[in-house]
């Protein structure tokens, strides 16, 4: 009888301790990852904690919460937004002050191994012809300067109506250019066609025509997908797919 009472006491103690441990683990894990939440809830909590502005949160409303990785604010945001196209805007002290969530990423399309394009010379620069599509799927042909110093494709603001962008589909911000800081509207093209390649979901900056000049820029968010070889003698540019 006494032994059974002792065993019962030990069993009850084991149950109580187990429940306490499970409760602690659930609270600790839930503080980092609450999978009943949405990605929008996670991002709102981070924005409040770090006093930053996150635009485009509505695009994350239906997405399940993701595990929050350990690391810096930038690393945490990069982990949460791994399936989105976004832009970080930094303050003067290099910290993140604003995040622009542009859209969800689309599956990467097949890209030809090599594209050879004829170019038109403009001084020391090369111009190529591309076709861009906006939200209305209308195709607009533009001449772009090949510019490995530009992070984004840059287009004249005058073609925004032809591409079908609404004001809600563009984010206004200042971008650094060779001519200093300029006002730009950032949006996502439905596609950009260069040679035989069609690249979907390309982000572009729209700048006032009088500030941009006659031509837009083909930036590294397209060129960076390739090894770029320029033949000045034959006015050719070869884009070789990187492995």
Whether residue 222 is found in the same domain as residue 130: yes
Average of per-residue pLDDT across 71-89: 88
> Is 70 exceeded by the pLDDT of residue 52?
yes
Which CATH number is 233's domain given?
2.40.70.10
* H helices, E strands: number in the chain: 6, 14
- Domain total of the chain: 2
Domain hosting 233: range is: 114-241
pLDDT for 2: 53
Structural domain includes residue 135: yes
Whether residue 55 is found in the same domain as residue 163: no
**Whole-angstrom Cα distance, residue 139 to residue 142?**
10
Map residue 12 onto helix, strand or coil.
Answer: helix
Crossing angle for the helix pair 39-50 and 73-80, to the nearest 10 degrees: 170
pLDDT for 3: 55
Q: Are 217 and 206 in contact (CB under 8 A)?
A: no
Whether residue 193 is found in the same domain as residue 226: yes
Whether residue 93 is found in the same domain as residue 184: no
DSSP 219-239: -HHHHTTEEEEEETTTTEEEE
Tokens describing residue 23 = 């409760």
Structural domain includes residue 219: yes
Average of per-residue pLDDT across 184-207: 93
Whether residue 98 is found in the same domain as residue 121: no
Whether residue 165 is found in the same domain as residue 231: yes
Whether residue 138 is found in the same domain as residue 218: yes
- What's the pTM value of the predicted model, to 2 decimals? 0.56
Whether residue 222 is found in the same domain as residue 150: yes
Whole-angstrom Cα Rg for the chain: 26
Label residue 172 by pLDDT band (50, 70, 90). very high
Structural domain includes residue 2: no
Structural domain includes residue 15: no
More confident residue, 122 or 208: 208
Structural domain includes residue 222: yes
Structural domain includes residue 156: yes
Whether residue 77 is found in the same domain as residue 156: no
Whether residue 79 is found in the same domain as residue 172: no
């Amino acid at each position: 009888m006494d032994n059974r009472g002792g065993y019962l006491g030990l069993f009850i103690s084991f149950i109580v301790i187990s429940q306490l441990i499970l409760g602690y683990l659930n609270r600790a894990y839930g503080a980092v990852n609450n999978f009943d939440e949405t990605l929008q809830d996670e991002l709102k909590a981070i924005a409040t904690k770090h006093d930053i502005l996150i635009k485009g949160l509505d695009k994350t409303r239906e997405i399940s919460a993701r595990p929050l990785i350990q690391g810096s604010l930038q690393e945490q945001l990069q982990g949460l937004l791994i399936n989105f196209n976004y832009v970080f805007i930094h303050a003067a002290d290099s910290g993140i002050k604003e995040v622009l969530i542009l859209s969800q990423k689309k599956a990467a399309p097949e890209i030809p191994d090599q594209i050879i394009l004829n170019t038109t010379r403009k001084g020391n620069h090369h111009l190529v012809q591309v076709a861009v599509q906006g939200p209305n799927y209308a195709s607009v042909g533009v001449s772009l300067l090949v510019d490995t110093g530009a992070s984004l494709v840059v287009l004249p603001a005058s073609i925004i109506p032809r591409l079908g962008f609404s004001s809600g589909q563009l984010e206004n911000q200042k971008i650094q250019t060779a001519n200093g800081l300029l006002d730009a509207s950032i949006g996502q093209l439905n596609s950009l066609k260069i040679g035989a390649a069609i690249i979907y979901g390309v982000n572009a900056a729209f700048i006032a025509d009088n500030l941009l000049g006659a031509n837009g820029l083909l930036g590294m968010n397209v060129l960076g997908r390739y090894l770029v070889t320029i033949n000045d003698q034959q006015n050719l540019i070869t884009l070789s797919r990187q492995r």
